[in-house]
Structure 1
Amino acid sequence: MHSMADLTFTYLSELLSFRSQQIYLVGGSVRDLLLGGQAMNDIDLLMPSGSEEVARAFAAAIGGSFFFLDEERRITRVMKHGAGEAVQFDFTNFEGPDLNTDLARRDFTINAMALDLRAFVESGSLTGIIDPFHGREDVKKKLVRAVRPTVLDDDPLRLLRAVRFSAALDFTIEDGTAEEIRKRADLITGPSPERIRDELFQILSSRGAENYLVLMDSLGLLLPVLPELASLKGFRPGRYELHDVLTHSLRTVGHVDGMLDDLFRLSPDHAAPVLDHLEEPLEQLVPRKAALRFACLLHDIAKPETFTETDGHVRFHDHDNRGAEKAREACRRLRLSGAVESMVARVIKYHMRLFNLSAPGGPSRNAVYRYCRDLKDDLPESLMLAQADARATSEIMAKEKFADTERPMAVVLDYYYNRFLKTEEKPLVTGQDLINAGLTPGPRFREILDDIKEKQAEGSIATRRGALDYLDRFK
């Protein structure tokens, strides 16, 4: 069986067979080849003109799908599925009279290189790279450097994209470029919310996301992108707080990585399904793990407005519920999907629940069931946030909460996977059964069904016959 890389190379050869005009590999394709990338599943192709017609013919030749990425600029994409994967070919024309003019308009030197496609396919060599801005050297040095300062004005989203490339490639933003970003930080509010969202969530998908959020803050980008965090900066309530609440929130994001590493210790039987669950996409470019980090970042946004102090006792009454509502507003502003909004809000709303299950003697089975019922699919994220929050709290509190929450977390995960999910998949009775038993439909139905599910999960009702008999007490 051929690999996707082999098939991609075959498709590129096919492209050359019916087009005599020069075609160039450009941008990230060249950069990734220099970095030793073998996947070749994201191909950027540049032509002097006529790219739309070539893309249409190419799609027909390889049995791919054709569509516009940007109809105004005539940028097109061909998608082809094969070998269990997908590869995309993006076609565009020169912006300007020649290749060098086009490259000069690109964002960063590492993306402003080109390679003659025919020479590459025939030789398999990278020696013919066209590199007017010394991007190859910056790839070696692992630097993100603007082609020229004004490219940041041409498209202010590049201010944030510099951080995204730094996160994705583990590169450092070159000092001069970082200073130019700081000078223009207020321009980041100009691009559409959707474009900002896509860059932000690619950053949040990265391991070490805390570091890149801190980098955003140092560049003056974090608060313009997420104004909900502004009131947290400098807000340091309570005698146990070593950091302001913004720093605590950033540290909470960082501790997600530690939690991912610790899962096999905390819950050996359920670590693998949790990790798989966190990779699931909620929408394009937003896997669950990125939405979890977003929830971590926002989990305390209502603390400043709910802060009270009486006789030295600090309280943040209802900060979880009010924080969930403020998080919903942030999700809507960034045009996130309803699925992401619901998950982020629910996880924030219940982020104190694990602490409430940490009483001596361990949580009751009823309390664990209700926790699982209220969170449903988002239960793993809720546990991860609570534990990351505990680890990020000041050292004195962290030692107490860390010990208190690890064991309940393992108990809840075990119950969730071994009991709760099974009752959700195969409930013993339904609303129709309640109607057949002579009960009147209404809000009470939910209470009855929940009661039976809880008893099914704990094992006191094990059969459908037993569940139907149990209904008699409600008549």
Structure 2
Amino acid sequence: MSDSQAAEATLTDEQRSAVDRLLRSVGSVVTELGERFAAAGHELAIVGGPVRDALLGRPVHDIDLTTDAVPQRVLELVDGWADAVWTIGIEFGTVGLRKNGQQVEITTYRSESYQVKSRKPEVSYGDSLYGDLVRRDFTVNAMAVRLPGGEFVDPFGGLADLADRRLRTPGRAEDSFNDDPLRIMRAMRFAAQLGFSLDEGVRTAATAMSDRLRIVSAERIRDELVKLMLSPNPRVGVALMTDLGVADHVLPEIPKLKLTVDEHHRHKDVYEHSLTVLDQAIDLERARGMEPDLVLRLAALLHDIGKPKTRSFEPGGKVTFHHHEVVGASMSRNRLSALRFPKDVVNDVSKLVSLHLRFHGYGKGEWTDSAVRRYARDAGPLLSRLHILTRADCTTRNRRKAAALARAYDDIERRIERLEQEEELSKIRPDLDGNEIQEVLGIGPGPLVGQAWRFLLELRLENGPLGKEAATEALRRWAAERE
């Protein structure tokens, strides 16, 4: 099919209105660009996500443009017109610019493909809009609006797939995924983000070719996983990844959770439990008016990944997972580090995983105030997330048990709030600082000061505020016992 065959598609009045709204929303800058390119004999079109989202009634944020002009020619066309130009993506055919406060990216018609063992795609430029669209990931992203006239182009039935909420590739799915294996992850992400189903060809190819993800950089896979986890329904994406074998190459710990169901089914399905905890954490997140929280969602999904390694069968058929939170914290750290997540995300998720069982020692409120202080202090700035994760971790169908756990956690939250008001738990420090410790003990800076500080902190957590006089006496007794 040539560009002449990829002519304007027939739109309903509602769809035409959506395209018109898109053109109005992109503003005069984009229209002026279209006129500028047309006057120079070049094509320009809005393409991909902005067109899809406009037709879905979703907010349009980034404006992606495509053209037959090569990057150097694009630079010539915007020279002296744009307020700022950047070329950070020029090796992939992309030029960015800003005009009157609006940012756009212009990419030359192109195709990308990976060699068998390459981690970087090879980019080649094309000369037709159809040639550019046929190499895009899915039909719903292979629609365009020509500028400056506003003609709508849909050579592969993207409109019909939008209506059916279906992800399908413009050509053979195998060819598409071979060109860029990351598209397999994008399919999972779009399913979670947009609520679309996968065409059978996409499902089959994703399963058969998931091992091709090994040649894609960890950073690109991580970015897709982040978008999936922050989507409205990450469970859909995670379940697809697991069912199609994709998770084996991205989060292999998740499908292994299915192996923790023993042949007698004497304990819950840990895989389904983990997905339910993720759902419930998101429900609590929304109920509290929070934005999608990556750390919380990752912790909810990964909180039990230590169970397969710690499973043990005891007399009478009882199944235990002793210290699975410790093992799971280490596994979470390793997996997220391998995916190149930022250190703060790695640290926060692994800490939440390590703490997620702590509350279950609370019983009916038997904890002393010192134990409550330790719980809050150990969680530190993650306390609000730990509250949500702990509540979400209750998936029992026994209503009486679920209600009892909820009441117990209500109680601990009230106690933390009371102690917070009384003592500012997050700012708890020993009653003596480092200089005062040195003065009391008659020593200079050194390891002993740190040991004394930690002793006084433990004392403070155990007993609450002591005052400087009592703390000084306790410190002297401690030092005397060490001699």
TM range (shorter): 0.7 to 0.9
1:251 Cα deviation after fit: 2.0
CA distance in 2, matches of 1:415, 1:241: 40
Structure 2 unaligned runs (5+)?
Answer: 1-21, 111-125, 444-448, 477-483
Counterpart in the other structure of 1:284: none
Q: How does 1:369-384 map to 2 (within 5 A)?
A: 369-384=373-388
Indicate if the aligned counterparts of 1:355 and 1:405 stay in contact, CA closer than 8 A: no
Change (3 A) 1:237 1:80: farther
CA distance in 2, matches of 1:416, 1:6: 55
1:59 Cα deviation after fit: 8.9
SS of the residue aligned with 2:107? strand
Counterpart in the other structure of 1:353: 358
Change (3 A) 1:230 1:213: closer
One of 59, 72, 88 as aligned partner of 1:68: 88
CA distance in 2, matches of 1:422, 1:6: 52
CA distance in 2, matches of 1:355, 1:215: 32
Counterpart in the other structure of 2:206: 181
Spell out, residue by residue over 1:181-200, the C-alpha distance to the aligned partner (whole angstroms, 9 max, x if none).
Answer: 23323323331111111111
CA distance in 2, matches of 1:129, 1:198: 30
One of 310, 333, 339 as aligned partner of 1:334: 339
Structure 1 unaligned runs (5+)?
Answer: 121-127, 264-270, 280-286
Code of the residue aligned with 1:219 in structure 2: it is L
Alignment of 1:444 onto 2:457: no
CA distance in 2, matches of 1:166, 1:203: 9
Spell out, residue by residue over 1:302-326, the C-alpha distance to the aligned partner (whole angstroms, 9 max, x if none).
Answer: 2222222332343322211111111
CA distance in 2, matches of 1:59, 1:405: 66
Counterpart in the other structure of 1:343: 348
CA distance in 2, matches of 1:412, 1:57: 65
One of 431, 442, 450 as aligned partner of 2:434: 431
Counterpart in the other structure of 1:42: 62
Alignment of 1:407 onto 2:410: yes
Alignment of 1:129 onto 2:152: yes
1:444 Cα deviation after fit: 2.3
Q: CA RMSD in A?
A: 3.4
Structure 1 window deviating more from structure 2 (134-143 vs 304-313): it is: 304-313
SS of the residue aligned with 1:336? coil
SS of the residue aligned with 1:300? coil
1:377 Cα deviation after fit: 1.4
Indicate if the aligned counterparts of 2:44 and 2:147 stay in contact, CA closer than 8 A: yes
Which has more radius of gyration?
A: 2
Change (3 A) 1:65 1:450: farther
CA distance in 1, matches of 2:322, 2:411: 24
Spell out, residue by residue over 1:397-450, the C-alpha distance to the aligned partner (whole angstroms, 9 max, x if none).
Answer: 963764464324533663586467675299986434544555642222133246
TM-score (norm 2): 0.78
Alignment of 1:297 onto 2:269: no
TM-score (norm 1): 0.79
Counterpart in the other structure of 2:17: none
Change (3 A) 1:408 1:471: same
Counterpart in the other structure of 1:111: 141
Q: How does 1:53-452 map to 2 (within 5 A)?
A: 54=74, 58=78, 61=81, 63-64=83-84, 66-69=86-89, 71-78=90-97, 88-95=103-110, 96-120=126-150, 128-148=151-171, 149=173, 150-237=175-262, 241=266, 243-261=268-286, 263=287, 271=288, 275=290, 279=291, 289-312=293-316, 313-357=318-362, 359-361=363-365, 363-391=367-395, 393=396, 395=398, 399=402, 402-403=405-406, 405-408=408-411, 410-411=413-414, 414=417, 418=421, 423-424=426-427, 430-435=433-438, 440=443, 441-449=449-457, 451-452=459-460
Alignment of 1:23 onto 2:58: no
CA distance in 2, matches of 1:319, 1:175: 38
CA distance in 1, matches of 2:266, 2:412: 24
CA distance in 2, matches of 1:250, 1:89: 38
1:299 Cα deviation after fit: 1.6
CA distance in 2, matches of 1:240, 1:452: 46
CA distance in 1, matches of 2:412, 2:458: 22
Indicate if the aligned counterparts of 1:323 and 1:348 stay in contact, CA closer than 8 A: yes
Indicate if the aligned counterparts of 2:376 and 2:416 stay in contact, CA closer than 8 A: no
Counterpart in the other structure of 1:474: 475
Indicate if the aligned counterparts of 1:363 and 1:408 stay in contact, CA closer than 8 A: no
Change (3 A) 1:423 1:193: closer
Q: How many residues align?
A: 429
CA distance in 1, matches of 2:403, 2:161: 47
Change (3 A) 1:147 1:437: farther
SS of the residue aligned with 1:107? coil
SS of the residue aligned with 2:156? coil
Counterpart in the other structure of 2:115: none
Structure 1 window deviating more from structure 2 (9-18 vs 411-420): it is: 411-420
Code of the residue aligned with 1:179 in structure 2: it is T
Indicate if the aligned counterparts of 1:5 and 1:41 stay in contact, CA closer than 8 A: no
CA distance in 1, matches of 2:135, 2:374: 56
Code of the residue aligned with 2:358 in structure 1: it is R
SS of the residue aligned with 1:345? helix
Spell out, residue by residue over 1:353-407, the C-alpha distance to the aligned partner (whole angstroms, 9 max, x if none).
Answer: 11112x223543211211121121112222222222222x564896376446432
SS of the residue aligned with 1:442? helix
Q: How does 1:458-469 map to 2 (within 5 A)?
A: 460=465, 466-467=467-468
Indicate if the aligned counterparts of 1:26 and 1:114 stay in contact, CA closer than 8 A: yes
Change (3 A) 1:417 1:111: farther
1:41 Cα deviation after fit: 2.3
CA distance in 2, matches of 1:80, 1:389: 49
